Structure 1
């Protein structure tokens, strides 16, 4: 892995664009960042470089971090939109690493293309391995939407051991009509890398107009999708649901009941099949998809639930496997 740097041009542009649009606004505003990330790049086995951001808790408050978080963002967005989430986690004594998925944000790779259905899972494993070597402790895995699907798949397939799992509006089911599935199969056969308009309607992401506007104007948000990426969803959702009972780590699910981007019924099904002694869920009946970016007071309620759960699970970290 390349040494973290703050002078990478693409990284600096990504951070600047995000701050300029206000996409990081939340408990910490875009103008005042409590914990500035250190940026770097990690080269995957196939040569693709992913942009990484690492946030550290205040050493004046925490002599050593109480734990580590790997954060996986959602479809078409990028990790720079999670500054306010990183601030919250750092305030709890956790260090945080997030990366732009391949083909997203300031990472390399063909835009919105998945060379095979498990490519995002493999990338997460490489980021995990590098983090484990540096931190020597099992991380908490936090994923939103598509990132929640990747995280759920990672944990239930037991790709690597994790300390805990947090899923925010995970993409564990989609509302796909038969005509849409038929078109998908045609594109997957004939043009799997063809970019078509992304069906996400920004109005359905949050009840906060400022967040919707920031998403619309963020130059790093992708506006297309390909059949190859959708296929990674379809296969990953089915396998995650089938493997839910194999979960080995404590899990918190934060779900918006009014989500129109993914089908929240998938979260219900996954939760119901996960081990009862490991699962917790907070359901927000009126919440839209991006619950970390919801209008107040709901956003504050979501952050409070996340903080409370993490505090209860911040016991001494498990040692990494030998």
Structure 2
């Protein structure tokens, strides 16, 4: 269960949290420097993308901890070091339900509403949590969110066939690591990472196909300040989905930072773009959430 945490610049504390169905998820937790921040200024729940794991985000956690925020990330079920069959889900809403349980445990532990930051599929999961009002949150940050995909008619036909006949059958993951970042080292590290999954199932793809239109339809219901960080050259997800979500959300709540040349993993882009993206993230947090010393949002009892 959640408990200890690691400071920024150190290896994260690793704990496990049991979901209602018995599946145990790995949690990684970082804390800001207690000399600078005796009390953290807030909590970020970080949700990673399809096939990867939360251990790929130490530089993002370090930036957030440098702003005085504690960070908790989990490996999605069937991913990384979490339990559950690899890349198989019991139903299309399970990732949102798991995030709600992670949220509840964090609120109990720290008595404050969290900021939720999701990348790619994690962005879709985070957007669903917020727009469907599954749980109240302090703010929402979406990095290259999977709010639209480019899927051919042939791929859709194959998906429907597999979903009907073999929803748990794992097939090769179509993600091309060369399209993640302009930095070739990112592609190399992704391909050689033993915790990155190389397959996908029709059941997992269905979480996208059901979740994306619902998140878009619910965008007007957004209640928390929201930042989208979007790579205009993304070929893993369709960045047009981020534009549609931004346009559908309340104008006074939703802001978008668009990086024309950015590929999918904008937190892992080649410099100087990576630095520009991280600066946009930290600048938005400072302006909107008072992480340089402003008030925290306390959870309602």
| Range class of TM-score, shorter chain | over 0.9
Secondary structure at the aligned position of 2:100 is classed as helix
The answer on 1:70 being equivalent to 2:18 is: no
Q: Is the 8 A contact 1:4 1:41 kept in 2?
A: no
SS at match of 2:142: strand
Count residues in correspondence: 296
Distance 1:127 1:121 in 2: 10
Aligned residue for 2:257, secondary structure, equals strand
Aligned to 1:310: 285
Equivalence for 1:197: 172
Q: Match of 2:57, SS? A: helix
Alignment partner of 1:38 out of 4, 13, 33: 13
Query: Could you tell me which residue of structure 1 aligns to residue 109 of structure 2?
Result: 134
Matches within 5 A, 1:162-241: 162-241=137-216
Q: Find the aligned partners of 1:54 and 1:182 in 2 and give their Cα distance.
A: 41
Q: Once the two structures are superposed, what CA deviation does each residue of 1:14-69 show, in whole Å capped at 9, x if it has no partner? A: xxxxxxxxxxxxxxxxxxx7133111000001000000000000001111001110
On the 8 A contact 2:46/2:116 being kept in 1, the answer is: yes
Gaps of 5+ in 1: 7-32
2:5 and 2:141 mapped to 1: Cα distance?
Answer: 28
Q: Is the 1:50–1:99 contact (alpha carbons within 8 Å) kept by the matching residues of 2?
A: yes
Deviation at 1:319, TM superposition (A): 2.1
Is residue 295 of structure 1 aligned with residue 274 of structure 2? no
Structure 2 SS opposite 1:289: coil
| Residue 261 (structure 1) shift | 0.2
Matched residue, 1:115:
90
1:87 aligns with 2:87: no
RMSD: 1.2
**How far, CA to CA, are the matches of 2:5 and 2:132 in structure 1?**
33
- Pair 1:71–1:56, CA change in 2 (3 A): same
Task: State whether structure 2 residue 223 is matched by structure 1 residue 244.
Answer: no
| CA–CA distance in structure 2, aligned partners of residues 89 and 47 of structure 1 | 31
Q: TM-score, normalised by structure 2?
A: 0.97
Deviation (angstroms), 1:318: 2.0
> Aligned pair 1:97/2:72, yes or no?
yes
Alignment partner of 2:149: what SS?
A: coil
The answer to whether the aligner puts 1:59 opposite 2:38 as a matched pair is: no
- What is the CA–CA distance in structure 1 between the aligned matches of 2:79 and 2:4, rounded to whole Å? 19
Deviation, structure 1 residue 5: 8.6
Verify the 8 A CA contact 1:35 1:87 in the aligned structure 2: no
Is the contact between residue 5 and residue 29 of structure 2 (CA under 8 Å) also seen in structure 1? Answer: no
Contact in 2 for aligned 1:35/1:56 (Cα 8 Å): no
